[in-house]
Every structure is written in C-alpha cells, then in structure tokens.
Amino acid sequence: MERLQKVIAHAGIASRRKAEEYIVNGRVKVNGKIVRELGTQVGKNDKVEVDDVPIYKEEYGYYLFYKPKGVISAVSDDKGRKVVTDFFSHIKERIYPVGRLDFDTSGLLLLTNDGEFSQKLTHPSHEIDKVYVAKVKGLAKKHDLLPLTKGMKIEGYKTAPAAFEIISVDLKTNTSIVELTIHEGRNHQVKKMLQAVGYPVQKLKREKYGDLTLKGLRPGEYRNLNKKEISVLMNQSK
C-alpha cells in the first residue's frame, strides 16, 4: 500500500505537492469514488483516476550497475555523450541514478525509479560507507594520509573522517593504489581529498556501497537488487 499522492507523483502526473492539491480539490478518484483525504492508502489493484483519466502505476525497479569510465551519471546529456540509462534501454521503468559517479570514475552505481528510496540514500544523514580504490601519483605513505582520518578542510567545508588502506606502491611507475572509505558524496570528493594530501588521482573506481559489491558484474552490466538488499539500504542510516 502507498499514499495516494505518492502514486500520482510517481506516475509523472504532477509533483507530490501538486498531487495533494488535486486530491483536496476533488480531482482524484479511487475505484470510481472521489477521494479528498490526504494520505489515503491505495494498493496495486486499486484504480486511480485524475480528472477521470486512469493513471498508469509503474512498478518500482532497483538496479546495481557497474558504471564504465567515460559515461555520464544522468538520464540525458546535452553534449550527446553516453549516459548510464543507455545501458537500460529495454527497461520499462523510467529509472535514474541514485547520486552520481564522475564521468571518468567507474564502479558501483544504483539506479531506481523510487523517489523515496533515492532521497533517503542521498540525504546527508544516511551514512552508508562507500569504498573507493584509487590509483594515485606518488609513493603513498601512511603519515601523509592520516589527516583523512580526522576530517579535513576542502574548499570551505570539512569532510567527515575517512578510513584508508595502502594496497600497493610501485617504485617503477611512481604510483600507488589506495583504498578510501567515506560516507559522504560531494562532487569530486575522493579526488579532492587525495589531492589535498599530495596524491593526485589518476584512476578511480567505487567498489562497494554499504554491503553491496560488483561481484559477478563486468563494466556496463547490471543486476536487480533483491528485497533484503533494498531493506538493508533503507535501514542503514547511523
């Protein structure tokens, strides 16, 4: 069961606030009867009409996608570049990415058409750990990376404490592989944090989102989230 205004908004008829106006003004019918009460619950078998026109109630979809490098985290791009939804062309639902990954960053990205799910996961209070693996310029040293664990000032804001692990260093190429765990999602945040401690990022991949991993997927592939995974994500705020 879902609230009537949410069903109307999800069908693309109007925003949730506008849908509430439609209900109060008597423009909405449920099973042939005008309903004016906000918060009325409807199920998938109920017939909902707005101005006597039945609405199509789209099923919710939840997907875990392995975003390749060089793809925009959006549903369209005015420069004609490839976007993540291009990989879902046969999916009926009008899905969109939950948050974003930079154009040149690969890895785990969630997509859905459930606005409540997306809003909850992207809200600052919903502190889900995200694990990134970065190839950086320079031979990483623990004492250089320690400021990341206390939070640091970047462009006028202070980051939350992060965890790191030096995976490897390569003397020949003067590069290192560093794993960084954060729960924020500001624009270019991982790159800015590593740059601030002296290690510019050359390559970046998001490997984990909460308990979710890319296991079994190759770049450009996706799978459905199961009910347990969805429930865990919705309840994983700290």
pLDDT at 238: 47
Q: Do domains 62-125+214-235 and 129-209 have the same CATH topology?
A: yes
Domain definitions of the chain by residue range: 2-54, 62-125+214-235, 129-209
What is the spatial distance between Cα 211 and Cα 150, in angstroms, rounded to a whole number? 24
Name the catalytic one among 102, 104, 129, 170: 102
CATH 3.30.70.580 holds for 62-125+214-235:
yes
pLDDT at 166: 98
Report strand pairing: 28-30 vs 33-34: antiparallel
To which residue do tokens 């404490």 refer? 161
Q: Per CATH, which fold does 2-54 belong to? A: 3.10.290
To which residue do tokens 């640091």 refer? 152
Specify whether 102 is catalytic: yes
Architecture of the domain delimited by 129-209:
2-Layer Sandwich (3.30)
Instruction: Please list the pLDDT of the chain residue by residue as tens digits (238 residues).
Output: 888 988 888 777 878 889 999 999 999 999 999 999 998 999 878 999 999 999 877 788 999 999 999 999 999 999 999 999 999 998 888 899 999 999 999 999 999 988 778 888 988 777 899 999 999 999 999 999 999 999 999 988 899 999 999 999 999 999 999 999 999 878 899 999 999 999 999 999 999 999 999 999 999 999 999 999 999 998 875 4
Q: Are 211 and 232 in contact (CB under 8 A)?
A: yes
pLDDT at 237: 54
pLDDT at 144: 98
User: What number of H helices and E strands is found in the chain?
Assistant: 6, 17
pLDDT at 122: 86
What is the spatial distance between Cα 137 and Cα 202, in angstroms, rounded to a whole number? 7
